[in-house]
Amino acid sequence: MTDSASQVLYQARIPIYPRSVKGRFRTLKWGILTFAYGVYFLLPWLRWERNAGPDQAVLFDIADRKFYLFDLVMHAQDLFWLTGFLLVAALLLFFVTSIAGRVFCGYFCFQTLWTDLYLLIERLVQGDRVARIRLDKSPWTANKFLRKVLTHILWLAAAFLTGLTFTLYWGNAPELIVEWFTGKAPFAAYATTLFLTITTYVMAGLAREQVCTYMCPYARFQSVMFDEDTRIVAYDVARGEGKAGRHKVTRDLKTLEQRQQQGVGECIDCGYCVQVCPTGIDIRNGLQVQCISCALCIDACDTIMGSLGWDKGLIRYTSEKQAEGKESRILKPKTIAYGLVLLAAIAALLWGVSNQAPLEMSVVQVRQPLFVRLSDGRVQNSYELHIENKTDQPLKLAIMMRGLAGAELDVGKLSSVEIGPQRSLRVHARVRWNSGNRHKGSRSFEFDLIPQTQPEIGMISAPATFYMPGGDS
């Protein structure tokens, strides 16, 4: 080795040991976490009676290209709803962020939820912050080794359950789980489980706050949505620092009066707010990109202030304007604009979902041969009608055509077409027409589908083109 030191290209991660805290936001977060986990882990097991299709409440059936969401069945053609849903989700995020900051990050993001679970496991096995720091600094003993191994085993178990549950949404859960453990499940089930197990373990167990700080795009563009009226977790600098700054509680600085006399603020510099922060920041330094608005520092500070008998809210949800003592508005042009666009997107999505066509038909012309001349001089064109019954009842349908005067429709010996619930069918139809000399080239007409068993569905039509060869024959 020479005397030159290695160039530092990146900073190694500084380990963070978040401390546990009790308080109203922590309670709220536990509540949300319990509810979210309850939904996520139990939903695949919820049964749902259907006339046709699987009896699983939520099932994404890729093989049959149908998504079952309770009483709603999404077909491949309805996939644009997903676009609508993503649009609504994005707008909701913008709207909420401009009002209340990163509440999604702090309370609902799965990275936050799973990291919380992993921290809980870590705390149960290795103890709270101080114990964990001590354990990490201590030499390797059997005790340390066991605790570390147990933590990772539990983490992996949680990750595995997460991954396995995810796969259950894509198949019949009670059947798939048996297949999974007997080695008969499709390869995709194993691959998905493995992938999600690994990502959960790595993201929630190892990467943690680095996901929020370095990987998550949302943290990058939140500044666009923030303004001086946005609710953020903030430290009341004026109250906490006073004129002479923060100071620990000492003999001369015990009561509020003593502190005020000497110009010292109310922050006793106990560091609790820093210790509980899952991203390891000091909120007293102001708003930072790492802050996920989880409000645990509020709980921590309120606990301290409460125990001292002083007013709570030294750290609280406030806006930049409010903190400066100015009036802060929630409803302003930007928020209203977000809100209106959001409402429009929700309305459009709801309209689309509630107006799902119960019956659909599309027509493809047979192009080989494009036309055939018949013995009586008429011209015949053939079509493939693709009919999809999206109801949960079998349908009896009559196929008709309209728009070509004197043309004959021939669907062979099918007196009427029967199509099962949630099924699709292709019907070969021939149209024979003699235009005389009036029409050459293409002529538009329509196929009609008339439900005979459920007339309330009403007739549906699909456009088609009749090709008439040139010439005068």
- What phi, psi does 429 have (nearest 5°)? -125, 145
Residue 374 CB, shortest distance to other proteins, in Å, is: 5
Q: Is 261 helix (H, G, I), strand (E, B) or coil?
A: helix
C-beta closer to other proteins: residue 354 or 368: 368
Nearer to other proteins, 20 or 365 (CB): 365
Least distance to other proteins, CB of residue 420, Å: 8
Least distance CB 281 / other proteins (angstroms): 15
Work out how close the CB of 408 gets to other proteins at its nearest, in angstroms, rounded to a whole number: 10
Cα–Cα nearest to 450, from 361, 375, 337? 361
Residue (354 or 415) nearer to other proteins, CB:
415
Tell which phi-psi region holds residue 149, choosing left (phi > 0), alpha (psi between -120 and 50) or beta.
Answer: alpha
Nearest Cα to Cα of residue 211 among 200, 203, 201: 203
Residue 461 phi, psi dihedral angles, 5° rounding: -130, 155
- Interface contacts to other proteins, rule CB under 8 A: 1-2, 4-8, 10-11, 63, 366-369, 372-377, 380, 382, 410, 412-415, 417-420, 425-428, 430, 471, 473
Tell me which residue of 126, 101, 108 sits closest to 15, measured CA to CA. 126
Q: How far is the CB of 1 from other proteins (least distance, A)?
A: 7
| Spatial separation of the C-alpha atoms in residues 403 and 302, rounded to whole Å | 76
The span from the CA of 211 to the CA of 294, in Å, is: 15
- Tell whether omega for the bond before 139 is within 30 degrees of 0, i.e. cis: no
Closest distance of CB 210 from other proteins, Å: 14
Smallest distance, other proteins to C-beta of residue 10, A: 8
Q: How many angstroms separate the CA atoms of 85 and 349, rounded?
A: 7
- Smaller CB distance to other proteins: residue 332 or 373? 373
The string of DSSP letters for 345-405 reads HHHHHHHHHHT--SEEEEEEE--TTS-EE-TTS-EEEEEEEEEEE-SSS-EEEEEEEESST
Residues 462 and 386: their CA atoms lie apart, in Å, by: 10
Burial zone of 201 (CB within 10 Å; 0-12 exposed, 13-18 middle, 19+ buried)? buried
Residue 80 contacts by C-beta under 8 Å, 6 or more apart in sequence? 352
**Closest approach of Cβ 473 to other proteins, in Å?**
6
When the beta carbons of 198 and 366 are compared against other proteins, the nearer one is 366
Of the pair 6, 307, the CB lying nearest other proteins is at 6
SS3 329: coil
3-class secondary structure, 321: helix
Contact 93, 338 (CB under 8 A): no
Q: Which residues contact 365 (CB under 8 A, 6 or more apart)?
A: 381, 382, 383, 384, 464, 465, 467
Minimum distance between the CB of residue 144 and other proteins, rounded to whole angstroms? 24
Residue closer to other proteins (CB basis): 93 or 203: 203
Q: Nearest approach, Cβ of 417 to other proteins (angstroms)?
A: 4
Q: Which is nearer to other proteins, 273 or 385 (CB)?
A: 385
Cβ proximity to other proteins: between 11 and 307 the closer is: 11
Neighbours of 162 (CB within 10 A): 22
Q: Which is nearer to other proteins, 267 or 379 (CB)?
A: 379
Q: How far apart are CB 372 and other proteins at their closest, in Å?
A: 5
Phi first, then psi, for residue 360 (nearest 5°) are: -135, 150
Q: Could you tell me how many helices (H) and strands (E) the chain has, helices first? A: 16, 14
Q: In whole angstroms, what is the distance from residue 302 CA to residue 181 CA?
A: 49
Residue closer to other proteins (CB basis): 325 or 471: 471
For the CB of residue 168, give the shortest distance to other proteins in the complex, in Å.
19
Nearer to other proteins, 322 or 434 (CB): 434
